[in-house]
Amino acid sequence: MKCRGNALSRRGFLTVGAAGGLTLAQMLQMRQARAEQKSYDFIDAKALSVIHVFLPGGMAHQESFDPKPYSPIEYRGEMKTIKTNTGEVLCETLPKLAQMADKFAVIRSMTHGEAAHERGTHNMFTGYKPSPALQFPSFGSVISHEYGPRNNMPPYVCIPNQPNEFAGSGYLSSSFAPFSLGADPASNGFKVRDLNLPNGVTDERFARRRSALEAVNYYFSQRDKSDNVGAMNTFYERAYSMVSSPAAREAFDLDKEDAKTREAYGANQA
């Protein structure tokens, strides 16, 4: 005999079964929780770039952004606190930052849970705990992989060089590794290495060299499909884009910045 009515799917059966296991009080609690659930407006991202300043061996947190004014002195240290313009407290070592606390956010709950500095550094650059089976990419390389170059500019730059092995591309292609300046921006006559054509090489000569190189690279790429060959081709393409881009050269030309701006950022390495 054929049963009349709508067929009950597996998902519908599980839904009915789950609902049937709830008491009236639990059902009412669920409705109340759903009614009280907050909704938030989506805010478009305003930041176009991120500057990641990593300070190995830097200030202790209780002597900078996370003082412990109510902890015993052996934990909080001897330094006092200073109130910010938002009402929070910082250590007295940061009086200028305390005046502009409304311009930044301090995430005091962030930690990596590693006792060893090397493992903690890996966690801070990749977001993962170290694994003997997998070499994770740094977040800079992940951004490079997801977004790619912008206006012929490298998406991931290290100043002056890659700070450690964990800042690399990991299991991603080496073409997503950071672009290292190779020079100290605080030094006199700072120039990004290999960004300008060598002496005696004109644009026409450079274009001919590139054409010949592309022919050779194509020959080898058809016979060797390894990551190194593909990554090298990507490097060459990006390097050509940067060398031939006036915007890229201008972006790294610190002589175009006035002395006041450079002084505000600090005449130091990074």
DSSP characters over 200-269: T--HHHHHHHHHHHHHHHHHHHTT---HHHHHHHHHHHHHHHHHT-HHHHHHT-GGGS-HHHHHHH-SS-
Question: What pLDDT tens digit does each residue of the chain (270 aa) get?
Answer: 555 555 555 555 445 445 555 565 666 666 776 666 666 677 777 778 888 988 888 888 889 999 999 998 888 888 899 999 999 999 999 999 999 999 999 998 888 888 899 999 999 999 999 999 999 999 999 999 998 888 778 899 998 899 999 999 999 988 899 988 888 887 777 777 767 777 778 878 878 887 887 787 777 777 766 666 666 667 667 777 777 777 777 878 888 888 888 888 777 765
pLDDT for res 35:
67
pLDDT for res 144:
92
pLDDT for res 125:
95
Question: In a 10 Å sphere around its CB, with 0-12 CB exposed, 13-18 middle and 19+ buried, how is residue 270 labelled?
Answer: middle
Element (H, E) at 16: helix 10-20
Residue 165 corresponds to which tokens in the numbers above? 């092995």
